[in-house]
């Protein structure tokens, strides 16, 4: 009918353009974990957590403190931009093993399509590493390869070493990327959000551990 105005219900919530810098949760790579009646987590970069934030720890067994893997707790203190204290009693837990990177080489044996490197390390299978500063086996310097297998004292790297010179001494193996890292991540929203570019702030009261829908459309 001409001239008739048809109105529709206005959605209770309409998604706005996402501005990721104003949202939590976030995740950060763990550099160190201090054990005790509470647990202190040091992150590699500045975090954005606040007191009351609910977090979960992801600590693969290669990093030692496997008892914390999957554990959740609340942030009860923020000593610095790279530290949070969590209300988890970790007194009897295994010591955290920080990533050794780079690590010093003490021997290299050539196996044709791969090399076995003697080095104290925390590398895992699938890690991408590069070799440098080797004396004697100079052809390997600057080459990269994936870790085929790893123990705390040796790694096998997929580098074709046919025709290379004999190893003499020294060298450094440096991690470029790894499929496994220890992480701390927020699993919920906090009660107050930062001011965004439109001047709006999140004033809603959300139970700790709940999520806000921030999907694009």
Per the listing, tokens 């003490």 go with: 106
204 lies in the same domain as 160: no
CATH code of the domain in which 131 resides: 2.40.30.180
Are 122 and 99 a contacting pair, CB within 8 Å?
Answer: yes
- Higher-pLDDT residue of 56 and 178 is 56
Predicted model pTM: 0.60
- Say if residue 90 is in the same domain as residue 196: yes
- 3 state SS of 22: helix
pLDDT-derived band of residue 189, with 50, 70 and 90 as boundaries? Answer: very low
Report how many domains make up the chain: 2
At 79-106, the pLDDT tens digits run 999 999 999 999 999 999 888 889 999 9
């Amino acid at each position: 009918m001409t001239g008739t105005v048809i109105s529709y219900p206005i959605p209770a919530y309409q998604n706005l353009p996402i501005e990721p810098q104003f949202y939590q949760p976030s995740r950060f790579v763990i550099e160190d974990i201090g054990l005790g009646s509470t647990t202190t987590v040091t992150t590699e970069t500045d975090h954005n957590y606040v007191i009351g934030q609910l977090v979960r720890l992801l600590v693969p067994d290669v990093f030692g403190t496997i008892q914390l893997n999957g554990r959740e707790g609340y942030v009860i203190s923020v000593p610095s931009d790279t530290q949070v204290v969590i209300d988890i009693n970790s007194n009897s837990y295994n010591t955290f093993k920080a990533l050794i990177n780079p690590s010093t080489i003490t021997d290299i044996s050539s196996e044709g399509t791969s090399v076995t490197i003697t080095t104290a390390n925390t590398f895992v299978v699938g890690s991408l590493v590069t070799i440098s500063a080797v004396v004697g086996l100079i052809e390997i310097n600057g080459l990269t390869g994936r870790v085929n297998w790893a123990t705390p004292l040796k790694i096998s790297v997929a580098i074709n070493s046919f025709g290379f010179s004999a190893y003499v001494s020294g060298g450094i193996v440096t991690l470029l990327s790894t499929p496994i890292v220890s992480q701390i991540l927020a699993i919920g929203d906090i009660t107050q959000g930062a001011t965004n570019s439109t001047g709006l702030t999140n004033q809603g009261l959300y139970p700790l551990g709940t999520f806000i829908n921030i999907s694009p459309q």
